Structure 1
Amino acid sequence: MSPLNELTPSERGYTLPELLIGTALSLLVIAAATGVYGTSKQTWNAMAAADAVHANARVAMRNLHEQAHMAGAAYLKSNNNGTFTVEISPNEDAGQAALAGVNGTKSVESLTLGHWHALDAIDCQGNTGSTHASVRNDYKLNTSKELSCKDLNLTNSTYQALAEGVEDFQLRYAQANPSAQTLQWKTANQVTDMAQVLAIEVCLRVASINTVHNTKPNPQLKGCQDEALPADGRVRRTFKRVVALRNRDGVMP
């Protein structure tokens, strides 16, 4: 008997067909694992991009909401004799309105919200160094797709970014008609009296900074101006919020 025939199967090793089959199976497993990893990575990137979009929108909306609630507010001024005087915000005076707006293209649209410096010295950027009697925060988009703001009364103030990835910033104003007991939503150029505005609607279209290639826009989702969302691989969301100007109570009889 040949010595080769006396070897056990484990001692003989693998034949060439067996090695080829094993290699092929290993390659299939590696290919499947690579595909799963790629899909998981794209899903993770999409989730991270969506989370960043929502985070930017929250920061911007919270800032606007806080400033809108203070717009035109009165405050109690302490007198030397122990009494208090209700001081009405000078922002409600002509030429120094608590609410102002400019309607136009994305680079022109702006919103200005004003309140007493003594009521709250912190402006939209967090600064407290102004010595002016009032704080007037102006919001608008810059060329880098960022929602920016500054206190118009603060000397040498420059616009600083609040949120990035903001592609559109649109505003509407709910103007009251006391005689007809109605409210009508208008753009800034359609409002005949800003003192009659009881609420503002803010719309932001926010996009992710990085592209997510497996992201396709939902055709049912629209932008602030009812436009279709671009299909360039970025995550996009449109956020709308109505903020009541609570210091305008009493405008409607």
Structure 2
Amino acid sequence: MKGILILLGATLLLTGCATNQSPTGRGQTLLFSSQEMSQLGDSSFAQIKRQEKIGQDKAVNAYVNCVANRITQALPNQSLPWEVVVFESDQVNAFALPGGHIGVYTGLLNVAVNADQLATVVSHEVAHVLANHSNEQVSRAQMTGAGMKLADLALGVGGIADKELYMAALGLGVQVGYILPYGRDQESEADVMGVELMAKAGFDPAASVELWKNMSKAGGEQGPELLSTHPSHGQRIAQLQQMQAKAQPLYQASKGSVKNSCQRPK
């Protein structure tokens, strides 16, 4: 009887999941509500802050917060407060989580050499959240890797409790360098959305091309952690160059209203 209930619960969860469309019209299977994803993001970010060294340099923190705040203020829905934390690490990386969380590693500032280039990365990561890519990833892990945990969730037994599984699905893992890859379609969507978002925030989208050229040079052939699941350098740069025709007018329309230029610390 228990086995039948578990199977029934799993079936109900799968048949009741939401099928949405991504910003580019791609179908998405989403098992979790926005509230559940925010809860997961909150929990994961709290754990990262316990594990990682938080940067104390006031000038660096002010600079990163300036860039991130301009980007989040350009979002269509500004009701959600975003928490921005700088982590002291050589990792060339950044991430954003559901629930309004942004993490930037100081190693990224050695590659993203100005505010426009840093905005390229931050807006790309925020775009992943806006496009529900995190929900897609966690849903995929739930369907393909969680086993009985899927049935437990359907029956209300476990809730979102397996932090290691879900943090890995969010691209974080127990140790932050572990990544469950986003797909090529997700990366392309985040590129398109991110470049438009940075332009609306008054950052020059042309800097995205230079940023990814810098990224391609960092860390040898494989590049830094941030690129481990991304399309080839040449393909990404070519796509970003094609996006300029649409992004530049957005930048020209918004740059005059920028009040804070976000100066990089010397």
Same fold? TM cut 0.5: no
Scaled by the length of structure 1, the TM-score of the pair is: 0.25
Give 1 or 2: higher helix fraction: 2
Structure of higher RCO (CA pairs closer than 8 Å, 6+ residues apart): 2
